[in-house]
Chain A
């Protein structure tokens, strides 16, 4: 604590300073590269690994299984739908998951019963999910509408709160960077894209902006009336703001990521698959990327958006003169 607090003091006073704004070209280039890679990864890998909610199909989860034999499940499915290719996996201790292509709703229920008797468990231990072919489009469409509506509303909210659309624009561009990079990492991991993962993505939007608002608030405070002082230029004030909130950024993201990490761990190792795992992976990656983006993309971007403004230019000139004379 002592060291981090001292470090925090030095960041606060400006004694120690990291060039978040100064080296913005480097950060933007890295972010740009990551965005391009994130777009390329799913293309190279042949798209996302879509869950049955998007493909349509049926999924069964059999709990309390004693013999985790894959063939038992395959045979049970083939007995009812012989032309299908069931994928049977042992996702966690005593839990089997069986996925099939499109079946009818009735076939799904028949197979659920067959699986129960094949694995020697009661019908109450079998979860079956039937997803019709159009459901996935519905989910994706609504999620997309949600994304657009949220981005528009939040852009307005931020423009109103910060009284400058440039902060709002910087925040939104950074936000899109976060979403694309997180999606890229998700594609790379090969995790299934399920509605739960989509929830995770939409939550990242919220978290990432939350983080940005906190840092921007400090920047706004630092840069308010910057023309009346001649110690620091506009971009130096922005940079000071980022550095001053750095300890906070680290602490909040660690605290936010800890519970998510515990869901990810429990979801992956104890439960195998499902809502918790899909949701938490997107969040886990998103929170980390979101915090980094605030510091490396959103805040420097705001300084860059303002660097050609008349007042900033005039102020820079004054400071330059003053520094030369000193």
Chain B
């Protein structure tokens, strides 16, 4: 082992840590300057106040639980509904593949809550009239006398006799941008015409009564369209398959629509009161296999197919748990958590200094390094993955103060063990590290495994805790490798630690080691037996136990083995000073 080896390594490791700090800090500062994120970590609802609903999906008429795919679609639908109702920043996620968690700041109104729980309502209705997206300006309204008046009872769903003067007036006054902000009503009487908007094409429609309910869709997929000879056309289409009842109903609809002129040729697919697509009828579909073509991209065709599929399988939600957390309580809890964290940190610092003297400061510095690294990770994860710190997460952070400090203790005790064996500090640090890092890695692997298992299977707020616990375990490994060990490597070369100052925490005399040089020419023999055993690289494990002899035993052995070793240690000693 060359003298410069460990120092070089240590400098390199510290440099790496510096690079990690610098890069993360620069990314963060860049994000803040670009006002994409803030320096403060994002807080979860239990600290910030807000509403959290945990919903269990219930498949209507279906068998048991919803599949992950259905759940994902349900999340999409809920997201659209919540965003549509004017609530910003709502977060909707699935948990453990079984529950949907809706979190939003503030308190949702009754309508939003109802919307969240309701199942998707998909309907096929014929188009009767189309109009501009916005309300018709006052001066262009149809005069009272020219309003369409029904002449007889409507014969079918496409019949213009459905339009009463009142309905038409309502239609002209209907302003889609305004209505959208309110959130659409999901349920409309099936046997009545309705007014609906299509944000996709920017039109509003008067639609006839319900003709095919969404439940009669068997499947919907997106694919490349095929021409008459089965050649791929390069156009994305949505393939729609009806169940037998739907096939019959859809055949009747297309039969009628194909001969109708203009917009009456179109049928509208209505999801939760909004037209998601209004294709024209090009053929009578008698086999229940329809193809919707248009200016689809791969994404938009897939989105429509997903919506159709979801509409085909109405899922409603049972509220498993609903929490409306007051911002006051959240702030109290956060304050309490931070105070607890500070007290905990202080106690650990005091105990470390009491136990390890100056080494205790290495613990404190390492804890600070871990703290900064954890902070950067949490803020950056908040930015990139929308990770939010919950109270359980804060608890996890506080608990991890102790767990992180534990690895330093494991390491320090190993160094002390090596010192007790009579090694000088620099090599005790190297040997202690060699052994300690194995132990630390194995122990941290257990922590990380626990965190991962908890995170994957947990429901509720367990996840926040598991996340911080796992994160800090990784941070701990990084800090021990790139900070604590390099710092000790450097410190072991200093006079204060190297000579085992009595406040260094590594005072050999306290550790039961008799100094090599005892003054007045008295020189203790070096424990050569241990040294030779250690010196051999790859010393067989079989020798391990013998090395664990007591110092007294070792000294005895050394005394037996004669004066040559005396000279040996004397030389070593003289070189020291």
Q: Given A157-B446, A237-B545, do A135 and B392 touch, yes or no (CB 8 Å)?
A: no
A180 at interface, CB cutoff 8 A = no
**Chain B residues positioned under 8 Å from A213 (CB to CB):** 439, 442-443, 446
Contact of B343 among A14, A132, A262 (CB under 8 A): A262
Among B12-20, B423-431, B451-459, the stretch in contact with A: B451-459
Q: Is the CB of B511 within 8 A of A9?
A: yes
**Chain B residues positioned under 8 Å from A259 (CB to CB):** 340-341, 344-345, 347-348, 398-399, 401-402
How far apart sit A202 and B402, CA to CA, in the bound complex (Å)? 17
Restricting to A1-59, which residues have a CB under 8 Å from any CB of B? 1-2, 4-6, 8-10, 12-15, 53
Restricting to A272-304, which residues have a CB under 8 Å from any CB of B? 274-276, 279-280, 283
Q: Which of B325, B401, B403 is most buried by chain A, counting CB atoms within 10 A of its CB?
A: B403
How far apart sit A9 and B409, CA to CA, in the bound complex (Å)? 16
**Chain B residues positioned under 8 Å from A239 (CB to CB):** none
Q: Which of A154, A237, A255 is most buried by chain B, counting CB atoms within 10 A of its CB?
A: A255
A186 at interface, CB cutoff 8 A = no
Q: Is the CB of A128 within 8 A of B510?
A: no
Minimal beta-carbon separation of B556 from chain A (angstroms): 13
Restricting to B549-577, which residues have a CB under 8 Å from any CB of A? 549-552
Q: Is the CB of A142 within 8 A of B348?
A: no
B351 at interface, CB cutoff 8 A = yes
How far apart sit A183 and B413, CA to CA, in the bound complex (Å)? 32
Q: Is the CB of A222 within 8 A of B545?
A: yes
Closest B residue by C-beta to A229: B545
Minimal beta-carbon separation of B546 from chain A (angstroms): 5
Q: Is the CB of B319 within 8 A of A132?
A: yes
Minimal beta-carbon separation of A66 from chain B (angstroms): 13
Q: Is the CB of A263 within 8 A of B340?
A: yes
Q: Is the CB of A276 within 8 A of B351?
A: no
How many A-B residue pairs lie within 8 Å, measured between CB atoms?
A: 293
User: What total of chain A residues lie within 8 Å of the partner, measured CB to CB?
Assistant: 100
Closest B residue by C-beta to A198: B462
A244 at interface, CB cutoff 8 A = yes
B523 at interface, CB cutoff 8 A = no
User: What total of chain B residues lie within 8 Å of the partner, measured CB to CB?
Assistant: 92
Q: Is the CB of B462 within 8 A of A252?
A: no
Restricting to A196-223, which residues have a CB under 8 Å from any CB of B? 196, 198-199, 202-203, 205-207, 209-210, 213-214, 217-218, 221-223
Q: Given A255-B405, A262-B344, do A154 and B449 touch, yes or no (CB 8 Å)?
A: yes
Q: Is the CB of A267 within 8 A of B336?
A: yes
Among B179-187, B299-307, B352-360, the stretch in contact with A: B352-360
Further 4 A-B residue pairs, CB within 8 A, beyond A12-B420, A132-B319: A5-B416, A53-B321, A63-B326, A138-B320
| A/B interface sample: 12 pairs, CB < 8 A | A2-B510, A6-B512, A124-B49, A138-B56, A142-B459, A205-B450, A207-B403, A226-B545, A259-B340, A263-B344, A274-B391, A276-B391
Q: Which 10 A-B pairs have the closest CB atoms?
A: A259-B344, A9-B512, A225-B542, A206-B450, A256-B402, A13-B550, A266-B340, A262-B343, A258-B347, A224-B541
